[in-house]
Amino acid sequence: MSLSPSLLRLAAARLRTPSLAAGVASSSPWRLAVGHPRLAVGPVTAAAPAFLARFMASAAAAAPAATPLTLPSGLRSPTDEDIAAFRAMLPTPGSVVTDEDALAPHNTDWMGRFIGRSRVLLKPRSTDEVAAILRHCNEQGIPLVPQGGNTGMVGGSVPVADEVILSLAGMASIEAFDAASGVVTAQAGVVLEALDTYVGERGHRVPLDLGAKGSCQIGGNVATNAGGSRYVRYGSLRASVLGVEAVLPSGEVLAGLTSLRKDNTGYDLKQLMIGGEGTLGVITRVALACPPLSAAVHVTLLKVPSWANAVSLLAAAKGQLAEILSAFEFMDAPAVKLAVTHLSHVRDPLGPDEDAGATDGPFYVLIETAGSSAAHDREKLDTFLESSMESELVTDGVMAESAGQAAAFWELRESLPEAVGKAGTKVFKYDISLPMDAFYRIVTDARALLADAGADADVVGWGHMGDGNLHLNVAARGDVAAVAAALEPWVYEQVAAARGSVSAEHGLGVMKAGAIGYTKDAVSVEVMRGIKALLDPKGILNPLKMLPRVGEEKTA
Ligand code: FAD
Ligand code: MLT
Ligand code: ZN
């Protein structure tokens, strides 16, 4: 099957663009990146720890820090005696950190928006050490914040005051891998990218991928029930996480580290830890089902003239690419423009667009397929691309013909959080689920709202379109307080009216704890409070996160 001449022409011309020529060795513009697993390492992520630290430093300098909050009564700050007790519990050198400079990055969230003032970070090396810490803190009423890679987007991983920071970074062993089932068992502190590399070398892939892969930890991923770009293929982590070991606030260990696929014995307690945002227990080990690595991976970047076309393209991709579709990500043109403007290493392989900034298009769609047969996948993809061009759903496109190009396409997509951070002195981030008919409208409405208010801001949208998950981002300059007043609660009200969710994948943390009531009913919130009270009666774990403070619930 051959491609339509128009797409072939467009793509061939684009693929010869020198700026994107890295790694191109073939004379055929359509020789694909077959045989390459989905590249986990792009320049942004390969350098992630340094990049994150750099970004956090500049963001912290630019953005006003949130005022520390007052902890609920009954909780107290750790004293020098407590710190001495922690030292006795954690004999490995470097396990108790009190140096202010060393603590600074752990007190600051990735956006530089939430800044705590903890004076002690603990780095246990085993589940027993975590249990000893929690027992002590529970007896003494000392609050703690579990911290993974500290890449969370809602301020859940940093103290709101002077809580103890409990880092899982010292528990980073991959303990077992079962080749027959693909189940990997790992301590919570294993970095996602390291886990993916490990199982990749054994013919499998982690069913989760996201831009922070070089820093975030599998325990943090499970605690946030992270979504990411493979969700459209493998679904929620809730199904892939087979077992969780977690330490409860009492210090008791919930020993749920099973690798069983089926287990209907009572309530599924691990689900409380998955997406529990560290409010109910500290995840110490995880058993994760990893699907086989696909032999053939194709990555395509398409330009779509209108939102209606993007919606039709998604339906066509789900229908025609079906089981080989492994990512369907969208970016609006203003978001892409921010990336190429603010990040020198990022290129737009489809070139600048005169229409960028228009209210309804163009849009960029990144489609990845992952299947077992290059020839079969290619045939499906060719048919899909041909019909998309013929029906004018798509006006331009490029298909990666090397691993380097595939990585560059992904880099463009995954660089957007960093780019938006550089574009404003304060970034307002909304991670929302919306039905397709309301999906992009909120971006254009927010743009109009802020333009009417005379705000100096870039309003951009991107996200995991295949899962109905939009990232609405506003990079504001100048009077950011006025921008905040215009956006909130307006955004949450729009989401509630469309029957969406105020948090699709980032969780609630401290940023959105008060907003849960917009899209969750009051009975559900009360049940959640009951579960929290049962497992953490003193409220020591991640206080003021996820659930609203009494009297501060917002409802639609
Ligand atoms: P942290 O940020 O350290 O913690 C997050 C929350 O989990 C906190 O409430 C913390 O207390 C709790 N926690 C951490 N570890 C544990 C543990 N062992 N036990 C109990 N609680 C724990 N998120 C997505 O869902 N999809 C994306 O596509 C995505 N892309 C991102 C891209 C970039 C560039 C960045 C910076 C972030 C992105 N995120 C995304 C957000 C973030 O990376 C995820 O939420 C990630 O899962 C957090 O993992 P972490 O180890 O950094 O956790
Ligand atoms: C993404 O998909 O880019 C992430 O969830 C991060 C973000 O929204 O900034
Ligand atoms: Zn996302």
In the reported structure, the alpha carbon of residue 134 is separated from the centroid of ligand 3 by a whole-number distance in angstroms of 32
Average pLDDT, the chain: 88
Atom of ligand 2 minimally distant from the CA of 229: 2
Rounded to an integer, what distance in angstroms lies between the CA atom of residue 78 and that of residue 71?
A: 13
Ligand nearest to the CA of 276: 1
- Structure-model confidence comparison of residues 30 and 352, the more confident one: 352
In the reported structure, the alpha carbon of residue 455 is separated from the centroid of ligand 3 by a whole-number distance in angstroms of 26
Contact of 388 with 394, CB cutoff 8 Å: yes
Instruction: Please compute the mean of the pLDDT values over residues 93-122 and round it to a whole number.
Output: 96
109 backbone dihedrals φ, ψ, rounded to 5°: -80, 170
393-442 residue pLDDT tens: 999 999 999 999 999 999 999 999 999 999 999 999 999 999 999 999 99
In the reported structure, the alpha carbon of residue 471 is separated from the centroid of ligand 2 by a whole-number distance in angstroms of 7
DSSP 339-383: HHHH-TT---TT---TTTT-TT--EEEEEEEEES-HHHHHHHHHH
In the reported structure, the alpha carbon of residue 142 is separated from the centroid of ligand 1 by a whole-number distance in angstroms of 23
Q: Is the pLDDT of residue 528 over 60?
A: yes
Rounded to an integer, what distance in angstroms lies between the CA atom of residue 339 and that of residue 35?
A: 29
In the reported structure, the alpha carbon of residue 131 is separated from the centroid of ligand 3 by a whole-number distance in angstroms of 32
Ligand nearest to the CA of 48: 1
CA distances to 65, 131, 153, 349, 398 from 18, rounded to whole Å, are 43, 56, 36, 10, 14
Q: Is the pLDDT of residue 4 over 50?
A: no
Out of 118, 151, 470, give the residue to mutate to test ligand 1, the one with the largest number of ligand atoms within 8 Å of its CB.
151
Rounded to an integer, what distance in angstroms lies between the CA atom of residue 485 and that of residue 413?
A: 29
299, β-bridge pairs: 368
How many Cβ atoms from other residues are within 10 Å of residue 103's Cβ? Answer: 19
Out of 196, 210, 462, give the residue to mutate to test ligand 1, the one with the largest number of ligand atoms within 8 Å of its CB.
210
In the reported structure, the alpha carbon of residue 408 is separated from the centroid of ligand 2 by a whole-number distance in angstroms of 17
In the reported structure, the alpha carbon of residue 46 is separated from the centroid of ligand 1 by a whole-number distance in angstroms of 17
Question: Helices 480-487 and 490-497, interaxial angle, to 10°?
Answer: 20
H/E stretch holding 259: none
In the reported structure, the alpha carbon of residue 5 is separated from the centroid of ligand 2 by a whole-number distance in angstroms of 35
Rounded to an integer, what distance in angstroms lies between the CA atom of residue 278 and that of residue 515?
A: 18
How many Cβ atoms from other residues are within 10 Å of residue 60's Cβ? Answer: 19
β strands within 204-359, DSSP E: 241-247, 253-256, 282-289, 296-304, 325-332
Q: Which of 23-27, 241-245, 287-291, 344-348 has the lowest mean pLDDT?
A: 23-27
324-383 residue pLDDT tens: 999 999 999 999 999 999 999 999 999 866 555 444 679 999 999 999 999 999 999 999
529 backbone dihedrals φ, ψ, rounded to 5°: -60, -40
Q: Name all residues whose Cβ lies below 6 A of ligand 2.
A: 153, 211, 416-417, 429, 431, 471
Q: Name all residues whose Cβ lies below 6 A of ligand 1.
A: 110, 145-153, 156-157, 168, 188, 210-212, 216-217, 219-221, 223-224, 226-228, 277-278, 282-283, 417, 505-506, 509, 542, 545
Region at 410 (left for phi over 0; alpha for psi -120 to 50; beta for the rest)? alpha
Q: Is the pLDDT of residue 19 over 90?
A: no
Q: Which residue, by CA, sits nearest to atom 9 of ligand 2?
A: 417
CB proximity list for 463: less than 8 A, separation 6 or greater? 329, 330, 469, 470, 471
CB proximity list for 405: less than 8 A, separation 6 or greater? 15, 20, 22, 23, 24, 33, 299, 349, 398
Question: Which tokens go with 83?
Answer: 């710190």
Out of 109, 121, 134, 157, give the residue to mutate to test ligand 1, the one with the largest number of ligand atoms within 8 Å of its CB.
157
Question: What's residue 360's pLDDT?
Answer: 61
Q: Which residue, by CA, sits nearest to atom 38 of ligand 1?
A: 212
In the reported structure, the alpha carbon of residue 463 is separated from the centroid of ligand 3 by a whole-number distance in angstroms of 6
In the reported structure, the alpha carbon of residue 504 is separated from the centroid of ligand 3 by a whole-number distance in angstroms of 9
Rounded to an integer, what distance in angstroms lies between the CA atom of residue 78 and that of residue 120?
A: 8
57-88 residue pLDDT tens: 333 333 444 546 888 999 999 999 999 999 99
Sign of the Cα torsion 447, 453, 457, 463 reads negative
Rounded to an integer, what distance in angstroms lies between the CA atom of residue 309 and that of residue 368?
A: 18
Out of 427, 428, 431, 512, give the residue to mutate to test ligand 2, the one with the largest number of ligand atoms within 8 Å of its CB.
431
Instruction: Please compute the mean of the pLDDT values over residues 525-549 and round it to a whole number.
Output: 96
Q: Is the pLDDT of residue 139 over 50?
A: yes
Q: Which residue, by CA, sits nearest to atom 6 of ligand 2?
A: 417
In the reported structure, the alpha carbon of residue 529 is separated from the centroid of ligand 2 by a whole-number distance in angstroms of 28
CA distances to 56, 312, 525, 528, 553 from 422, rounded to whole Å, are 11, 33, 36, 37, 32
Q: Which residue, by CA, sits nearest to atom 2 of ligand 2?
A: 463
Rounded to an integer, what distance in angstroms lies between the CA atom of residue 397 and that of residue 409?
A: 11
Q: Which residue, by CA, sits nearest to atom 53 of ligand 1?
A: 220
Q: Which residue, by CA, sits nearest to atom 10 of ligand 1?
A: 157
Out of 52, 118, 153, give the residue to mutate to test ligand 1, the one with the largest number of ligand atoms within 8 Å of its CB.
153
Question: Which tokens go with 442?
Answer: 């909120």
Q: Which of 257-261, 350-354, 491-495 has the lowest mean pLDDT?
A: 350-354
Question: Which tokens go with 305?
Answer: 């003239």
Q: Is the pLDDT of residue 26 over 60?
A: no
Ligand nearest to the CA of 282: 1
Contact of 327 with 394, CB cutoff 8 Å: no
